[in-house]
A and B are shown apart, each in its own frame.
Chain A
Amino acid sequence: MNTFSQGGIHLEKYKVTADIPSKEAGLPEFVSIPVKQHIGTPAKILVKKGDKVKVGTLLADADGIVSADVHSSVSGEVVKVEETEGASGYFENMITIKVEGDEVEPEIDLSSDICSNIPENPQEIIEKIRKAGIVGMGGAGYPTPIKDTLPEGKKIDILIVNGIECEPWLTSDGRLMIEKAEEIVIGAKILNKLFGIQNAIIAIDENKPQAIEIINKITRRYVGVNVRVCKTKYPQGGEKQLIEAITGREVPSGKLPMDAGCLVQNVGTVFAVYEAVMKNKPLYERYVTVSGDMCKTPQTFKVRIGTPIRFLIEQCGGFDNNIAQVVLGGPMMGNSIIHMDAPITKISSGVLLLSNEISHRPEAMDCIRCSKCVDSCPMGLRPYLIGIYTRNHMLDELKDIHAQDCIECGCCAYICPSRIPLLDFCKLAKIELRNKKG
């Protein structure tokens, strides 16, 4: 069984939605689509108030290289193009569309037939990926075309499709793998062709036997795509950990996966690549898990981008005063959100409704030097030391112990029996180191 060599923790999984088939969330009355759902520069807005749009119409064009196109996820009329409150409470530029009917752009192929005649020309593939506005759907939101265009002199020899969902509760990737298995395999083949390699590995963690079985069956028919089962351990789905688990290589400190000859893509991204290349379908919907211990009827949805979070929560039993915290993403790395009318974006993998019992952070006590943070850190860092150095502003020492290599997985803060906010100290250390450099 593949796994990474040091650290990691075993979490309670709570994957209650793992065996429930996903459902169409349906169409809300309004959708608000942010023009920046990725890392980089916001896209340039192409529409104005009063414009009629269809599903798949380009709303905003990528501005520069590090940017991504934004498409309409519904058909209707643009009612507002202005700063609207986002999930964290900050105002972002969004395009609000009033939903009228469900008319789709004509070139999009909505049939569920499997197409497997992959275009020969890599240039054509990358152009289609770019036009679909695909970004990394695992959570970082890095525009995929840049990840897929290798700089001069770099070479990758292995493509890893990340089907590991190590965060508790979330099952959106798991459901996607069960329901769209063949599409994902073809998506991997497309990326194989793009890089001219024959070596794609779909990594799945062992607690998804159904997905493993289905994909295993399909990969027998496709050369160059294989399944590798990984141990259920957090953070197995972290890019660096996964590369080590599958290939035994390490990404050098401060470098990118391609420096280790690897490329890691989330299954959601690979599925979006399939849809973009074979079906001409831009990225306008995604799988989202609504769950958490305060969720009455947890469910994985297929959601149009821009759908208000409240619309999903209402379908899952509604909002309740005992909910202490709403988290967008997983409980280990996700963010608390406050504004329920904010939209689902390309990178939101789940909405969790948490009770006070789960999410309550008790008062921090003194460090008892139990060394659990050191034992659990998947990067081999010493979080207790990062905490001490950050509190005392010892920047040179922080650099010496590689504080900037922290992947912010949260293992240290989860495991700390004294409830010291070690992850916060690591993040602060990174902020301070960055400020010092800049």
Chain B
Amino acid sequence: MITTLISNVLILGGIALLAALALYFISKKFYVKENPLSEKIEKVLPGANCGACGKAGCQDFAKACASCNREEFADLYCSVGGDETMQKVADLLGFKAVSKTPQTAVLKCNGTCENAPIKLQFDKIISCRLANQISVGQTECPNGCLRLGDCVKVCKFGALKINEQTLIPEVDESKCTACGACVKICPRGLFEIRPKSPDGKRVYVACSNKQKGALARKNCKVACIGCGKCSKICDLIKVENNLSYIPSDVSAEKYGEELVKACPTGAIVMTNNKKEQ
């Protein structure tokens, strides 16, 4: 009895020891040396792997940071972590951190169910990208939001959700990191990354319709008809293809209210985050 026990213990113990030794040598032999700096950088990064920086993921970004020089570092920016993270990375590298205004995604369509009534019914189409291929959309606006929420699905930060009243997506600025995933996925290019202006005010054209005025208005009350009234207020505003574009350097503080008042259809929208808070 006792000999059986001892032999069992010995055999099993022996196997365990051999396996442990094998593992030890294998791990030593095949150890992949990584740049310790890039590992450190990776630790301060957000780890969202969103690809906003243009790299394949956070690890890739960290590697790029670790192996770059001073000039190249200026081009690397993690919009998710923002200035704070970049300061930490810069400290690790001993470079000077670049500072950028925080940005956010903006939806350039205001085709809510009130403004743009549904004219045909989508029957369980699973993606905006497919719907865009086969049909003009429920509101019949060829440039408007398709309301199927590809952007919501692609957002890794939960910053987008479909508003149940309006049926179009809404950006939660506090969560949006301006990673640009929604810009890439939207088949109609309705998202734009714009700076969160320091004064909390922002003015932009919430429409992307390039049709002529009458046609645009047929499907949506708040369509931009390209009348050009806004471009007379500020030189920076350009009207192209029946669509006005307000660049982000048009001061919302200075022109905002005037622009909103001047727009005959209400396509120009001003947000004022300070008031809301």
| A positions within 8 Å CB-CB of B | 88-91, 325, 335-336, 338, 359-361, 363-364, 421, 424-425, 427-428, 431
Q: What is the bound-complex CA distance between A89 and B134, given in angstroms? A: 9
Instruction: Select which of A361, A425, A428 is within 8 A of B124 by beta carbon.
Output: A361
Residue of A nearest to B125 (CB): A424
Q: How far is the CB of B119 from chain A (nearest CB, A)?
A: 8
A427 proximity list for chain B (CB < 8 A): 130, 133
User: CB-CB < 8 A to A336: which residues of B?
Assistant: 134-135
**Which of B225-269 touch A at CB < 8 Å?**
none
Query: What residues on A are CB-neighbors of B127 within 8 Å?
Result: 424, 428
Contacts A335-B134, A336-B135, A338-B135: A424 and B211 contacting too (C-beta < 8 A)? Answer: no
Known: A89-B135, A428-B129. A364 touches B140 (CB 8 A): no
CB of B149 within 8 A of chain A? no
B123 interface contact, C-beta 8 A: yes
- CB pair A431 B135 closer than 8 Å: no
Within 8 A of A (CB), among B110-157: 120, 123-127, 129-130, 133-137, 140, 142
- In the complex, A360→B123 CA distance in Å? 8
Q: Are A421 and B140 in contact (CB under 8 A)?
A: no
What 7 A-B pairs are tightest by C-beta distance, nearest first? Answer: A89-B136, A361-B124, A424-B126, A335-B134, A338-B120, A90-B136, A88-B135
Cα distance, A336 to B140, chains bound together (Å): 14
Contacts of A425 in B (CB 8 A): 126
Given A88-B134, A421-B126, 7 more A-B residue pairs with CB atoms under 8 Å apart are A89-B140, A89-B142, A91-B211, A325-B123, A338-B136, A359-B123, A424-B126
In chain B, residues 16-74, which have Cβ atoms closer than 8 Å to a Cβ of chain A? Answer: none
C-alpha gap A364/B135 in the complex (Å):
22
Is A421 a contact of B136 with CB atoms below 8 Å? no
Contact between A428 and B130, CB atoms less than 8 A apart: yes
Indicate if the CB atoms of A89 and B137 lie closer than 8 Å: yes
Contacts of A360 in B (CB 8 A): 123
Tell me whether A361 and B123 are in contact (CB under 8 A).
Answer: yes
The answer to whether B136 touches A431, judged by C-beta atoms less than 8 angstroms apart, is: no
Assess whether B125 is in contact with A91, with CB atoms less than 8 Å apart: no
The answer to whether B134 and A364 have CB atoms under 8 Å apart is no
Of chain A, the residue at the smallest CB distance from B210 is: A91
A sample of 25 inter-chain contacts (CB < 8 A) reads: A88-B134, A88-B136, A89-B135, A89-B140, A89-B142, A90-B136, A91-B211, A335-B134, A336-B134, A338-B120, A338-B135, A338-B136, A338-B140, A359-B123, A361-B123, A361-B124, A364-B124, A421-B124, A424-B125, A424-B126, A425-B126, A427-B133, A428-B127, A428-B129, A428-B130
Which residues of chain A come closer than 8 Å to B136, judged between CB atoms?
Answer: 88-90, 338
Residues in B neighbouring A361, C-beta threshold 8 A: 123-124
Contacts of B133 in A (CB 8 A): 427
B21 to chain A, nearest CB (A): 36
Q: How far is the CA of A89 from the CA of B138 in the complex (A)?
A: 10
Contacts of A88 in B (CB 8 A): 134-136
Minimum CB–CB distance for A309 against chain B, Å: 15
Output the nearest chain A residue to B215 by Cβ-Cβ distance: A91
Closest to B126 in A: A424
Nearest-CB residue, chain A, relative to B137 = A89
A383: shortest Cβ distance to chain B, in Å?
Answer: 14
Using CB atoms, name the residue of chain B closest to A359: B123
- Looking at the assembled complex, report how far the CB atom of A55 sits from the nearest CB atom of chain B, in whole angstroms: 31
Q: How far is the CA of A325 from the CA of B120 in the complex (A)?
A: 10
Residue numbers in B under 8 Å from A338 (CB-CB)? 120, 135-136, 140
User: Do A363 and B135 form a contact, CB below 8 Å, given A428-B129, A428-B130, A431-B129?
Assistant: no
A-chain residues with CB within 8 Å of residue B142 when the two chains form the complex? 89-91
Contact partners of A90 in chain B: CB under 8 A? 136, 142
Tell me the nearest residue of chain A to B119, going by C-beta. A338
Report the separation of the CA atoms of residues A361 and B121 in the bound assembly, to the nearest whole angstrom.
13
Within the complex, the shortest CB–CB distance from B131 to chain A, in Å, comes to 10
Chain B: minimal CB distance from A434 (Å): 11
A-chain residues with CB within 8 Å of residue B125 when the two chains form the complex: 424
A427 to B130, CA, bound (A): 8
Of the residues B124, B134, B211, contact of A363 by C-beta under 8 Å: B124
Residue in A closest to B139 when the chains form the complex, CB atoms: A89
B130 touches A424 (CB 8 A): yes
Least CB distance from A325 to B in Å reads 8
What 0/1 pattern do residues 94 to 114 of B give for CB contact below 8 A with A? 000000000000000000000
CA distance A336 to B138 in the complex (A): 13
B140 to chain A, nearest CB (A): 6
CB distance from B250 to the nearest CB of A (A): 30
A338–B124 CA distance with the chains assembled, in angstroms: 16
Min distance, Cβ A425 to any Cβ of chain B, angstroms: 8
Contacts of B120 on A, CB cut-off 8 Å?
A: 338
- CB-CB < 8 A to A428: which residues of B? 126-127, 129-130
Closest beta carbon of chain B to A289's beta carbon, Å: 21
A residues near B123, Cβ cutoff 8 Å: 325, 359-361
Shortest CB distance B8–A (Å) = 43
Residue in A closest to B131 when the chains form the complex, CB atoms: A424
* Minimum CB distance partner of A363 in chain B: B124
Contacts of B211 in A (CB 8 A): 91
Report Cα–Cα, A91/B126, bound state, in Å: 24
Bound form: Cα–Cα A111–B195 in Å: 70
Contacts of B124 in A (CB 8 A): 361, 363-364, 421
State in angstroms the CA–CA spacing of A252 and B136 once bound together.
35
Q: Which residues of B contact A91 (CB under 8 A)?
A: 142, 211
Q: How far is the CA of A325 from the CA of B123 in the complex (A)?
A: 10
A421 CA to B127 CA, complexed, in Å: 11
Query: Cβ of A431: which chain B residues have Cβ within 8 Å of it?
Result: 129-130
Q: In the assembled complex, how far is the CB of residue B144 from the closest CB belonging to chain A, in whole angstroms? A: 11
A335 to B132, CA, bound (A): 12
- How far, in whole Å, are A424 and B142 apart by their CA atoms in the complex? 21
Q: Report A-chain residues with C-beta under 8 Å of the C-beta of B140.
A: 89, 338
Min CB distance B15 to A, Å, is 37
User: Which residues of chain A come closer than 8 Å to B134, judged between CB atoms?
Assistant: 88, 335-336
In the assembled complex, how far is the CB of residue A384 from the closest CB belonging to chain B, in whole angstroms?
15
Taken together as a complex, chains A and B put the C-alpha atoms of A38 and B10 apart, in Å, by 78
With most chain B CB atoms within 10 A of its CB, the pick from A89, A336, A338, A359 is A89
Provide the bound-state CA to CA distance between A338 and B142, in Å.
Answer: 13
